[in-house]
Structures are given as C-alpha cells and as structure tokens.
Amino acid sequence: MHTITSPAAGQTSAARPVVRVAVAGATGYTGQELLRLLARHPAVRLTLATSSASGSAARRLPALGRVWNGSLTPLDPNALTREADLVFLALPDAATAELAPKLVEDGLRVIDLSGAFRLRDAAVRARWYPETHAVPTGTAYGLTEFERDVVREARLVANPGCYPTTSLLALKPLAAAGALLPGADVIIDAKSGVSGAGKTPSERTHFSECHGSVSAYGVLGHRHGAEIEQGLGGVVTFTPHMVPLDRGLLATIYVRVAPGTTEEALGDIYERAFANSAFVRLVGASLPAIKQVVHTNFCDIGWRVDPSGRAIVVSVLDNLLKGASGQAVQNMNVMLGLDEAAGLL
C-alpha cells in the first residue's frame, strides 16, 4: 500500500493508506462498471485493468473517456500480484475458478463476481460450477447487508448473483422473523435485462430475438435457484425471464404469511432488517419499478398483503450495480474499513 498525505474527497483522515486495486475482465459489462466506480473512488487507486486476449494490442474503452485514462493489458496473474493489493475478478466462472486461489495464495484480497465460489455445499457446487475444485480458506458470501462481519475479514469474497441479491434481500428478513408460513411455496418470478447474460451475443440475446419479446429460460434448472435456496435455507420455485431492457432486474415474489398479517407488520420487519443499510430502500405498498434503480446501487423493495395471508413482494435493482459491480465495491468498502457507501452514492 502507498500513503497519501492529503484527505481524498469524502475522507476525513489526514493520512490514509491508498489501496491499489485491479480489475480482471475490465472489457466486460460488469468490468466496465467497476472501472467507472473505482476510477472515481475516494480511497483506492486503480492500477491495472485487464482484457482476456494475450498478446493483443492495447484496447480503448470509448464509454470511459475522461473517466478513466488507463490502458487495458492482457490478463497476467503475476502482474496482478505485483501491482495490486485487492483484485476484482469479472471473468467467466472457469477462468475465476483457476485464478482466484492463486491470487489468494499470493496474499491478495479478491472479490469475485462470478459464481465459482458462491455455493458452500460441494455436491451442489459440483453440479453448477464443475470447474471449481477447491474453495480457499477465508471465503465469504458477499450479500453485504447480511454478511458484513465475515466480509470484513475475508480473503476472497464471492459476490452474489443478480437474481439471488434481488430475491434474498426481499426474503431473508421475512424468513429470519419467522413470518413465512412453514411448508408454503415460495415462488420467485423474475425478469432481467439482456446485459445479465454478458457481452458475448448468443441466439437468446441477439437483438432480433429479444427485442419486442419476453421469454422464460432456465426453468426448473437455473443455478441461481441453488444460490437462493442456500441463502434462504429452503426450497424455492424460481423462474427467470429475459425482457427487452439493456439493464435492470425485477423479482415478483409470492409467499404465504399467517392470515391477518398486515402490511404494517411486514414493514416493521423490513425496517428492522435494513435500519443500517444505505442501499435498501423500502417503498411499501407503492411497489418499485426498474426505472427507479438503474445506474444506482439501490435495491428497492415493496409489498402487498391480503387478509388471507397472500403476500407479494416486489424487489428491483440494476443487475450491473447492486447485482454485481456496485455490490462488489460495497464489499470492498467493508473489507477496507471504509464508509460502506464510499464511491457509490
């Protein structure tokens, strides 16, 4: 670490160590969001950003002109170790599964946006992430609002998936408060913008396939279902849909609560759960919309209940921010003992 002697914007201390950070996968959708956030962050210095292609010429990212003036280099694990204290991995699962343990072994702290290290149960992990052979000691699941204590100490943070973040922020407070009727179905009907699939086009994400259309995918077989069940400790029915938006994610969640439970009672549960959470906004019966949260790190949650005990919770976020890079920076802030909102509001 290097030390600066004048306070950076948003900092109060006279001399704070500047943490050197790097982004691997910086040419991808989440990687570019990371560059945008980290280039303006008051307490870290972005020292390295990598693409995948080895030996290719330097590339530019036109969208980041005047925001970040660095250049992209091909991925080189040794350069990451040399030039960074903390590394963000915004790579495909297989690339991360191989790279992250080495970086942790080299003494770096790592925040991984892929799914490679999110699932704790080895058999479940082998089904969804077969390339992950071992999870390094000191790995934490980084759903920040519920995991601050373990994230603070972690060597490797497995940043949650976008659907799990949306769903678990809405469901965990109800489960923890015992508000979900035992044995009743939990149904998550979720919609994501196309950037959720990353930048490499496929038949499903091709403009002429998804423009003007909505489709379900991964029905009864999406790996984020396993991650949500891990976080909730119970079975869920999870159906993702692709909608013709570039970014944003909305989950409509159907649960059963005791008959007579009021909207105020659910509101109290949520207020208690998120009293110290800058990035969860509770909107109650007015119900949130994707437009309110795109380009922010907020997750907005609203709910309605009828007297029979049918409760519907709607949760929205930006898949590239609170669902990925924003939450990753939030986790970095916790790991470094900074204000959790630094560089994010």
Residues in contact with ligand NAP by CB under 6 A are 25-31, 51-53, 75, 90-93, 95, 113-115, 161-162, 195-196, 198-200, 319-320, 323-324
Contact 270, 202 (CB under 8 A): no
Contact 154, 218 (CB under 8 A): no
Longest dimension (CA), the chain: 65
Cite the DSSP H helix spans in the chain: 29-39, 77-83, 93-105, 122-128, 144-153, 162-176, 207-210, 223-232, 263-273, 326-335
In terms of CB distance, is 115 or 180 closer to ligand NAP? Answer: 115
Q: Check residue 157 and report its DSSP letter.
A: E
Query: From the CB of 1, what's the least distance to ligand NAP, in Å?
Result: 26
In terms of CB distance, is 62 or 337 closer to ligand NAP? Answer: 62
Interhelix angle 144-153/162-176, rounded to 10 degrees, is 100
Name the residue number minimizing CB distance to ligand NAP.
Answer: 28
**For this structure, is 162 an active site residue?**
yes
Query: From the CB of 210, what's the least distance to ligand NAP, in Å?
Result: 14
Cα 146 to Cα 168: distance, rounded to the nearest angstrom? 10
User: Which of the following is catalytic: 46, 162, 269, 332?
Assistant: 162
Cα 255 to Cα 269: distance, rounded to the nearest angstrom? 15
Query: From the CB of 301, what's the least distance to ligand NAP, in Å?
Result: 19
Query: From the CB of 74, what's the least distance to ligand NAP, in Å?
Result: 8
Edge to edge, what strands does the sheet with 187-192 contain? Answer: 215-216, 237-242, 187-192, 249-256, 310-317, 299-305, 280-284
Distances, alpha carbon 241 to alpha carbons 5, 193, 196, 204, 253, in Å: 50, 9, 11, 11, 14
Query: From the CB of 34, what's the least distance to ligand NAP, in Å?
Result: 9
In terms of CB distance, is 28 or 240 closer to ligand NAP? Answer: 28
In terms of CB distance, is 174 or 344 closer to ligand NAP? Answer: 344
Query: From the CB of 312, what's the least distance to ligand NAP, in Å?
Result: 25
Adjacent-strand bridge partners of 19: 44
Structure tokens at 314: 């709607």
In terms of CB distance, is 163 or 303 closer to ligand NAP? Answer: 163
Cα 149 to Cα 137: distance, rounded to the nearest angstrom? 16
Residue 123 one-letter amino acid: A
- If residue 24 lies in a helix (H) or strand (E), which one and from where to where? strand 16-24
Q: Check residue 77 and report its DSSP letter.
A: H
Cα 128 to Cα 108: distance, rounded to the nearest angstrom? 26
Query: From the CB of 132, what's the least distance to ligand NAP, in Å?
Result: 12
- Please identify every residue annotated as catalytic: 162
